[in-house]
Amino acid sequence: MAKNSSHSKKSLTVDQALLRMMNYCVYQDRCHQEVEKKLDALGMYEDAKNHIIIKLLEEDFLNEERFARSYARGKFRIKKYGRIRITRELKSRAISAYNLKAGLSEIDEDDYVNTLRDLAQHKLNTTKESNAYKKRQKIYQHLAYKGYETELIYDVINDLLPM
């Protein structure tokens, strides 16, 4: 069975691969890097890959600004990631500075600060540390890992745990 599936991957025509990539992009917004990896996995040659990517761009199946916006919205709303983490993740996908900025513009400042406060409060409530300094450190580390800015984290921690 494995032989047949790898054989069928190699024998895809450009049109079959294009159709498969259209479906791949319709299911969820994708970046160029993800599409290229998928085409490599399908065993497509460089010329065919370029042709397919151009077609996907022309027909708006592939749109990096849309990808950056939906990625930033989703990671903030669902995973509660901060701007630093979202920026790092988008840069690792080779998203341009323009599209990165567009993606981050999807995050409302009030929602951002409120989410940070909620995360800090939750971590405070679930941290079983009696030492105030260590408790502050644990909250800081958790929020920094999530990708929030140091100054904002300290502002929130100082509000929750005054010195």
**DSSP string of 106-154, one letter each residue:** TS-HHHHHHHHHHHHHHHHHH----SHHHHHHHHHHHHHHHT--HHHHH
pLDDT of 11 reads 67
Structure confidence by residue, pLDDT tens digits, 35-60: 999 999 999 999 999 999 999 999 99
Q: Which residues contact 67 (CB under 8 A, 6 or more apart)?
A: 29, 30, 31, 95, 99
Q: Where are the domains of the chain?
A: 14-62, 64-107, 108-162
Q: Which of 8-17, 50-59, 149-158 has the lowest mean pLDDT?
A: 8-17
Structure confidence by residue, pLDDT tens digits, 75-93: 999 999 999 999 999 999 9
pLDDT at 3 over 70: no
Percent over 90 (pLDDT), the chain: 89
pLDDT of 65 reads 96
State the Cα–Cα distance between residues 20 and 2, nearest whole angstrom.
20
pLDDT of 7 reads 43
pTM of the predicted model as reported, rounded to 2 decimal places: 0.86
